[in-house]
Structure 1
């Protein structure tokens, strides 16, 4: 199990709450957050909703419908006037990508998509000698192919000052054994941010950034083997900011900032939301 698996519940359950008051700086904006029924994605959806954005909450499997509905309900009842819709869609599939775009346009009074957060991801571990083509395909499809083609479909509807944020992982830089495919695919998202910032900046007025979490306390994290958690503990304990695993609430506000007007001069960047692990 990879250290920053993206699609799981936070340690306090799928009803992730961000306690600090939020500026209502995204009122009238519409956002798509992929993989947003649980974990980091759910926290990002709630963060954007608390700032006033309308949010498309995306989930894949039927078992995630309940958590996705609860996230959408929290957004619509947060007092900001934000709207939310849940969409069951496979972000790898062409029809799933189009369903997310169509849902966002249905939420937007201006028929625009202002924010696109690529959170959905897949992480699994395998030694190089055991990597198969199927193992490679599954991870690269969702971690690389999906962001490329969903962005391609959303772009015609993204006005100037729109925001694209990709969720990477500290695994992209740490050289963790068994992560040939996962680490490479997450490093790719950082490359996407740099390339797309150049392509979409002056021409379209869109900023593109990447957020790089370390280990985050999600259900997927705690579902890892005890051997994995024991191996990771020294790294977690050595985190410079504080000797603990990260929380989804440590990551989502950074995404919120990168989607705000205040981040207009930040693009092509990778923000390390990992307590300083990469500097230790």
Structure 2
């Protein structure tokens, strides 16, 4: 009998997805839950609790939502402690939380710098460090959500592209350093323009820049759907992907080919 029910290939796994109350993070949460994982949703502030709970209610199986601002010094450790208190371990870490500033270099300032570097860079660094003592040895998965901008940056993204380049480099370093110690894999997924709430709110100026980029995408002149990015993450989390390590998977319709 043919069934459309997803196979629970990640049953028994605990997945922490940072920045998962909306957008790509929410889609990754649903993808991993559909594959059988128990998911820990993360949101940065109390005003996003309702959004996080909506994502939680959309999952295939029970999980938890944890308020933790990963741009702070203590936020990453709080997220990990909450996950471990609930489930005793972490099998999958998806470093997704990030923000973007899109404006000319002349208009970018130290406030922008601190906001993006503290979350996009330091947040991933601290969250991964906090996770390692609790990461399941031999089967752990770390997936960093980078960006097409790390290697093919458009105008107006000086700081954002720089922080994503930082996470690109984290992936390269960690893929060599961590597997011998923890038996894990470390990979990256880089979306191109993706139809999230953040892009919808970016404004006409940003869309004018992005439209010509989308127009030259070989697979079609459109944004990605968040579920398409999530599927790539799901693949990297599978047991059968255990020999995939240090990969930077571009999920952009062929917009950038390295």
Which category of TM-score, normalised to the shorter sequence, fits these structures? over 0.9
Per-residue CA deviation, residues 135-176 of structure 1 (Å, 9 max, x unaligned), is: 211111101101111111110011221001111111111232
Q: 1:100 aligns with which of 76, 79, 85?
A: 79
5+ long unaligned stretches in structure 2 = none
5+ long unaligned stretches in structure 1 = 1-19
Deviation at 1:231, TM superposition (A): 2.7
Aligned-residue Cα RMSD (Å) equals 1.6
Contact 2:71 2:115 in 1 (8 A): no
Q: How is 1:152-191 mapped onto 2 (pairs within 5 angstroms)? A: 152-160=129-137, 161-191=139-169
Secondary structure (helix, strand or coil) at the match of 2:172 reads helix
Higher RCO by CA contacts (8 Å cutoff, separation 6 or greater): 1
Per-residue CA deviation, residues 162-214 of structure 1 (Å, 9 max, x unaligned), is: 00111111111123222221111101111111100111112211111110000
Deviation at 1:21, TM superposition (A): 4.2
Q: Is the counterpart of residue 24 in structure 1 residue 8 in structure 2?
A: yes
Contact 1:31 1:116 in 2 (8 A): yes
- What is the CA–CA distance in structure 2 between the aligned matches of 1:36 and 1:173, rounded to whole Å? 24
Name the structure 2 match of 1:69. 53
Contact 1:113 1:157 in 2 (8 A): yes
Deviation at 1:234, TM superposition (A): 2.0
- What is the CA–CA distance in structure 2 between the aligned matches of 1:221 and 1:22, rounded to whole Å? 29
Q: Is the counterpart of residue 196 in structure 1 residue 174 in structure 2?
A: yes
Name the structure 1 match of 2:20. 36
Name the structure 1 match of 2:101. 124
Q: TM-score w.r.t. structure 1 length? A: 0.86
Q: TM-score w.r.t. structure 2 length? A: 0.93
Secondary structure (helix, strand or coil) at the match of 1:147 reads helix
Residues 132 and 234 (structure 1 numbering): CA distance in 2 closer, same or farther, change over 3 Å?
closer
Aligned residue-pair number: 254
Q: How is 1:229-240 mapped onto 2 (pairs within 5 angstroms)? A: 229-240=207-218
Contact 2:102 2:206 in 1 (8 A): no
Deviation at 1:94, TM superposition (A): 3.4
Secondary structure (helix, strand or coil) at the match of 1:171 reads helix
Name the structure 2 match of 1:274. 252
- What is the CA–CA distance in structure 2 between the aligned matches of 1:231 and 1:143, rounded to whole Å? 22
Name the structure 2 match of 1:205. 183
Name the structure 1 match of 2:203. 225
